[in-house]
Structure 1
Amino acid sequence: MSLRYTDCTFGYRARTPVLDSLTLELPTGHTVLLGPNGAGKSTLLSLGASALAPKTGRVGWGSLDSARSRDRGEYRRRVGWLPQRIEPVPGLTVREQAAYAGWLKGLSKRRAWDRAVRALDRVRLSELADRRSHELSGGQLRRLGIAQALVHRAELILLDEPTAGLDPVQRGVFRDLVGELSGTAQVIVSTHQTEDLADVYEAVVVLDRGAPVFRGAIGDFLSLAPPEVAAERRAEAAYRGLVRGEV
């Protein structure tokens, strides 16, 4: 299955749409969503997670429509979501917050509590499971947010700037985690950093000013760079050739 946007329009202010009649089918597998700040990446993923609803059009996963009331619960159970801003829940420990996220997605309290252990282990937070979530550092809180997206074992996981605030070691852990999810869940990761591309991803979508300007395989994306560009700079060169910069 793939995440589909059909004739979607959304804006935070009247007469200023971020996305205007957008029709886009995201590739299956693991995809990087690239684009400058203000391109609409967070809005696109928020719509995909049903955290926002399009003003017009529809967002679908399989036969489910995110805006249709009878589908919404099942849609949210199948789609995991990491927003840019992760908030600690006052009074909850790290494990309790991860379990709470699973319970909100429809798991029983017992199953959510048990699955929180595995989710925290995958993001290397097991040793902090009993710490209050408000005591975590920014990078630790980010990893807790990733655990929350994993705890209910979604079919599709949407991660908005997941490596922001992570140090190089933690970024390596994240790349390993994305690789581990291959075959069990599809992953869409948004970023404006071309160095976040890695061999665990299969496709790239580039968004610029609310419109897709590239959709294809990693190799096809890199081939857009001029032939004289060094291998380690090819992603940056290809990206710069496609976008016009921040809005």
Structure 2
Amino acid sequence: MFRALTVEFEPGATVLLGPNGAGKSTLLSLIVGLLQPDAGTVRVGDLVSDVRRTRSRYRRSVGWLPQHVAAMPGLKVREQVAYAGWLKGLNRRDAWVNAARALGRVGLQDLAERPSRALSGGQLRRVGIAQTLVHDAKLIVMDEPAAGLDPQQRRVLREVLNSVVGDVDLLVSTHQTEDISDIYQHVAVLDDGVIRFHGEVPAFLARARPGVEPSRQAEDAYVQFIGTEA
């Protein structure tokens, strides 16, 4: 998939754009530790994903929000978030305490005792974000967090993401370009296993064709990189 890929994501919030089959899911899986590279390393700070002595600390430093967040049968909202913390190595007490704090950060503290299966899709996505915050991750990786959400749910999600930027770094894979300027500082475009663009949002938007409406600049800039030669 990748041909000697080297990329270093800057602190802050980065959006990863690319068509289906570009390699985004593979790259995210490498970063969160679901896959290991055949050669080279994946590093967050001074922690390397495939070094045994730092593997558990690496896993705790990275939060993972897949596209589909499932309600855990029989668990209430706070229990589900606490369980995610326990899976990352927290003891039961710390997982329970941190779960309440994480739910507060995503605006779901009032639903802590509600069964997870009773939540809406947008609320469940925010539970997923709380699950990435419960173990004090330094980097949160998200795959299509806004997929399937209505405009109101997307607005709430945007507010949540803006509220956590600064405390953690974000790497978000998406097909949607509408919210780039509202959330992210950096853009990376991946196509056919190659990084076609990696830079700050203003530089990315400047690649749109002259005369394109401001609301369409991100979409137009993205199209300029797809299918081009590296």
TM-score, normalisation: structure 1:
0.86
Give the secondary-structure state (helix, strand or coil) at the position aligned to 1:241: helix
Q: Which has more strand, going by share of residues?
A: 1
Give, in whole Å, the separation in 1 of the partners of 2:181 and 2:136. Answer: 23
In the TM superposition, residue 193 of structure 1 has moved relative to its aligned partner by: 0.9
Deviation at 1:172, TM superposition (A): 1.6
Shift of 1:219: 0.3
Inter-partner Cα distance in structure 2 for 1:43 and 1:135: 32
**Aligned 8 A contact 1:213 1:242 in 2:** yes
Which of the residues 101, 111, 115 maps onto 1:128?
111
**1:142–1:165: 8 Å Cα contact kept in structure 2?**
no
Structure 1 residue 138 displacement after superposition: 2.9
Match of 1:20 in 2: 3
Three-state SS of the structure 1 residue aligned to 2:189 is strand
The within-5 A match list for 1:120-159 is 120-159=103-142
Q: Secondary structure at the match of 1:141?
A: helix
Residue identity in the other structure for 1:172: R
Aligned residue number for residue 75 of structure 2:
92
Q: Residue 117 of structure 1 aligns with which residue?
A: 100
Q: Which of residues 29, 52, 59 in structure 2 aligns to 1:69?
A: 52
Q: SS at 2:67's partner residue?
A: coil
Q: Which has the higher contact order (CA 8 A, sep 6+)?
A: 2
Contact residue 146 and residue 162 of structure 1 kept, 8 A: no
Deviation at 1:167, TM superposition (A): 2.0
Provide TM-score, normalisation by structure 2.
Answer: 0.92
RMSD: 1.7
Find the residue that maps to 2:196 and give its secondary structure.
Answer: strand
Q: Which deviates more from structure 2 when the two are superposed, residues 148-157 or residues 175-184?
A: 175-184
Divergent runs of 4+, >6 A: none
Q: Does 1:244 align with 2:192?
A: no
More helix per residue: 2
**1:158-173, aligned counterparts within 5 Å?**
158-173=141-156
Residue 42 of structure 1 pairs with residue 25 of structure 2: yes
Structure 2 gaps of 5+ residues are none
In 1, Cα distance between equivalents of 2:48 and 2:162: 28
Q: How many corresponding residue pairs?
A: 228
Residue 208 of structure 2: aligned partner: 225
